[in-house]
Structure 1
Amino acid sequence: MDAIPAGATSALDVGTGDGLLAADLRDAIDDVTAVDIDAGVLARAAAEYSGIIWICGDVMSMELGRTFDVVASVATLHHLPDLSAAITRLADLTAPGGVLVVVGLARSTSLRDHLTGVVGAVQHQWYARTRTVWAHSAPTVWPPPHSYREVRESAGKVLPGARWQQFPMWRYALTWNKPG
């Protein structure tokens, strides 16, 4: 949410699932579209949250007919078969001057990745014992098909100047401001 550019008027949530991010975006932006391939999960999200355009389909092949000031995707990229094509597609859907934010899951391959994964495993156990557990309805892909290095390299080729952050629990964030 902190990455939303000033003056943003439209947002796209790719792989919206239960619609939580779309609802948060709707609190900040009037024009929000949410896409997911699962019709059942979209129906449940639409029943829960109003004021959002819900579209069932594959973002890789559907024609949306426009670009968006904010394109956001959480835990979706590892479900798409071609990493570079997926990053390119999300960049193409981002309007000039807009922002693309991806929070994803990646596979550990380096010592640093594995150590961060251990921290994540401990963190996960702590959260599981001390907090209410929320169960998402999305299918699980484990291990993630792409390594942190593969995601960084693909993003570097497609999204020049993208900011990269790596987090425990096998997560990363990419933030890219499309030149405007």
Structure 2
Amino acid sequence: MDAGGTDGYWNHNAHYHPLVLAAVPDGCRFALEVGCGDGLLARKLSRVSAAVTAVDRSAEMVRQARRAAAPAGAAVDFRELDVLDPSAGPELPSGSYDFVCSVAVLHHLGTAAGLRRMAELLRPGGILVVVGLARTVTPPDWLVSAAGVPAHRVLARRHGGPVEPAGMPVAEPAESWGEVRRTSARILPGRRWRRRLLWRYSIHWRKP
């Protein structure tokens, strides 16, 4: 079973926050989270990066993130922003970030467009980590997906059940596991891709 854990609350996305945080490079100066939701991961990132920018195209989620960060004393620059909007360029300069991450967001953007944009935002040598969802199509994928059911039950009991932030935008993934795997390999040469329990995959890539 994947090692997981979180502070704040637990759900399938928060379960993989430790995986994301473990990939933050030492001495990280500028980190970016794409699709920050209520800001839980961004607040954790602020403990390991000198500066954190967190963007989401949902005004309601940015409002929640700012409200939660204030009492926690987390220094995060939350912005209502669509990273795929060309007008966002001045606010998110290309090649500016040591670390870029997203959790359960890439299927909202489209794999190809989202990965290209996030790779563009990284400085040379920077690290990208994506935790995402995909559509189950093939019999082997259904078998792996079925294995997530007992894992979910064990973890839900341990953490008192999953908590889902109110108002979080939800969308079903359109691309299959195989499509995401092939597209990410094409756009991010040398990336590490891994299928994980709890109906997620991870991508880890260092920009040349």
The two structures have a TM-score, normalised by structure 1, of 0.92
Q: Return the match for 1:108 from 124, 130, 136.
A: 136
Partner of 1:153: 182
Moved >6 Å (runs of 4+): none
- How far apart are 1:12 and its partner, in Å? 0.3
Partner of 2:116: 88
Deviations for 1:61-101, whole angstroms, at most 9, x for unmatched residues?
12212421000000000111x32111101110111110000
- How far apart are 1:43 and its partner, in Å? 1.3
- How far apart are 1:109 and its partner, in Å? 2.2
Q: How big is the alpha-carbon RMSD for the aligned residues of Structure 1 and Structure 2? A: 1.4
Please give the residue correspondences for 1:12-27 in structure 2 after superposition, counting only pairs within 5 Å: 12-27=32-47
1:126 aligns with 2:146: no
AA aligned opposite 2:93:
G
Counterpart of 1:99 in 2: which secondary structure? strand
Please give the residue correspondences for 1:1-180 in structure 2 after superposition, counting only pairs within 5 Å: 1-49=21-69, 50-61=74-85, 62-63=88-89, 64-66=92-94, 67-80=96-109, 82-132=110-160, 133-137=162-166, 138-142=168-172, 144-179=173-208
- How far apart are 1:116 and its partner, in Å? 1.0
Most deviating of 45-54 and 158-167: 45-54
Q: Distance in 2 between the 1:136 and 1:147 partners?
A: 26
Counterpart of 2:46 in 1: which secondary structure? helix
| Long gaps (5+) in structure 1 | none
Counterpart of 1:69 in 2: which secondary structure? strand
Contact 1:116 1:169 in 2 (8 A): no
Most deviating of 170-179 and 36-45: 36-45
| Long gaps (5+) in structure 2 | 1-20
Q: How many aligned residue pairs are there?
A: 177
Contact 1:107 1:170 in 2 (8 A): no
- Equivalent pairs: percent with the same residue? 40
Contact 1:26 1:32 in 2 (8 A): yes
Q: In 2 relative to 1, CA 128–10 (structure 1 residues): closer, same or farther, beyond 3 Å?
A: same
AA aligned opposite 1:57:
L
